[in-house]
Amino acid sequence: MPAENSYVHVMELLLPPLNSGLLLGGLVLFIYLAVAYRSKLYTAIALLGATAFLFVASDAVIAFWGNWKGGTTVGVEFLRLQQVIGAFFLFTLPHLLGHLLKLGTGWKRLNRVIAISGLGLAAAIAVIAYCAPDLFIAVGSKAYSTVSGRITYLSDREGIVYQVRDLLIGLVVLYALGSIAVDLVRHKRFDLLFISFGILAAVAGAALDILAVWNGGYFGLFADQNFTRFSVGLTVLLLALMSGVVREFVLLSREVHRANERLKLSERKNRILAQGTKDCILSLTDDYTILNANKQALQQLHLRQENLAATNFLDLIASDMGSAPFLINLLKEKIEALKAGGETVFMKLKLKGFLPTESRSYNVSFEYVETEEGNEIIATASQPQADTYLKYIQAESGRFVIDNFLLTVEEISNRLATSLPKFVNDDGVKKMHMGLREMLLNALEHGNLSITSQEKNQALMEDRYFQFMHSRQQMPEHRDKKITVEYSVSQAKAVYRITDQGDGFDSRSFLATLKQAQENLNLQGRGILMALGTFDKITYNDKGNCVTLVKHFT
């Protein structure tokens, strides 16, 4: 072997076995899948893979015997066998399309006719190739001793049947590409792009081989290396089909993962909706409609299983002296923050029983769960446990400095009411809690944020109260202001001092006219009036931005 041609001959010897090995691996894979899943699609791919493997394996035999061993007779016979095998692409390619593409009824019939006709033509070509070889590839006495000799051999030995076979394969390939393009566009089958690329690679390889026969040699890249380009193209085609299988398995793996997640979520929901817990547990839609409820929720909230879909959780929130609208709006704001990726939300709510007068206090937690079927809110309502330290409290005092947030106002008002059950009855606790909340709201809205009653009323009527509040909170002149809360609770009395950093107001004239305007109160006046009815003494500083509330217990 001449030294200058050693690289060329090594390429000619190595590429066919390498391609054969890749195709054999793909063939084994698809045979396994066809048997394991009883899949007609994988069976069709295996048939195409078998045709491609036999075609390329014949090429490997030709390279081995013709180049290395010099077995020209064996090389010629395998050349004829290889070209006969190539005719069976007339069947295997349209047969694959019938299982791969989403064809209409009429198109399926046409495709079946093309596949069956292709099988018949391939069988006829095989018979002619061996019974009348001059019509296919004349063998005669002329042979060749190298792979490059095959090109010269075929250039003057092609029969009419060989040429017709090439023409028919070309038509079937065009039909395949057109069918894939239509299915890709019509059904958005972007997974077919890889297969289209593989078919184009095989077509390009076949075209280069045909041109080499006509011209007596290859041209372009690797022109001096006489491996068949069609073998490389077939290998790329099967690799493209294998990539489709890998993609399908990845998608299947994702679907299995999602199914497992759904199963875990279902188990979790079943666990938290367990009948043994003493808590009321409900699953809600995004608009707070009740989807499901456990036994305790049905009993304590007097719900009926068959009417859950017509029940909204917000309708269960009881109104204490007009507090329900505030709590509902506050809850909506908390849930929106929860949806945006926040942690579990907690609120103290009174929920209605059989009658509104039977409402009970609950500590309610809300958890947001996202699923493919839809998002859900899991609400868990538990009755508050008695504070074990409450009986030991003799006196308490403290100081809080808070930002301008409604959530903080609610939290601080709850905290201020924590020790009150030690000194007053439940009705007194409720009234003081409401009064403190209203005065804190006044300090926030009318004090630090300088919101007038008219502005607040208009925002509420236009259902944009929280957006309006948020815009005020972001203003440079308001965003750094604080509310200071100082308190002292003892056996004798409770004293609360709430100071904001607003401009204040004329408290004397306002309080003097307040009772005369009770029938026509704005929201600001209603809050102060509520406090006046609860606390024994309310005084403002001269500026009007600091209020002191006193409640005597004895």
Is the whole model's pTM more than 0.75, yes or no? no
In the chain, what are the domains?
Answer: 3-243 (1.20.1070.10), 273-382 (3.30.450.20), 392-552 (3.30.565.10)
Angle at 191 between CA 189 and CA 193, to 5 degrees: 95
**DSSP at 405:** -
Q: How confident is the model at residue 497 (pLDDT cuts 50, 70, 90)?
A: very high
Edge-to-edge strand list for the sheet holding 360-369:
290-293, 280-284, 376-382, 360-369, 345-351
421: tokens are 């059950």
- The tens digit of pLDDT for each residue in 50-67 reads 998 998 888 788 776 655
* Exposure on the CB side of residue 136, measured as CA atoms within 13 A: 24
| Joined tokens for residue 369 | 């769960």
Q: Give the angle subtended at the CA of 324 by the CAs of 496 and 494, to the nearest 5°.
A: 15
Q: Which residues pair with 496 in a beta bridge?
A: 487, 549
Amino acid at 339: K
- Rounded Cα distance between 277 and 552, Å, is 41
Specify whether the backbone of 383 is left (phi greater than 0), alpha (psi in -120 to 50) or beta: beta
Where residue 523 falls among pLDDT bands split at 50, 70, 90? very low
Q: Tell me: the pLDDT tens digits for 72-122? A: 567 677 778 888 998 999 999 899 889 888 888 899 999 999 999 999 999
Q: For residues 363 and 378, what is the distance between their CA atoms, to the nearest angstrom?
A: 14
Quote the pLDDT of residue 388: 66
Structure token pair of residue 466: 């929280």
User: In one letter, which amino acid is 100?
Assistant: L
pLDDT band for position 222 (50/70/90)? low
First to last CA, the chain: 118
Q: Report, as an integer, the average pLDDT of 302-329.
A: 80
Predicted confidence (pLDDT) per residue in 7-51, tens digit: 445 666 777 788 888 889 888 988 988 898 888 988 998 998 899
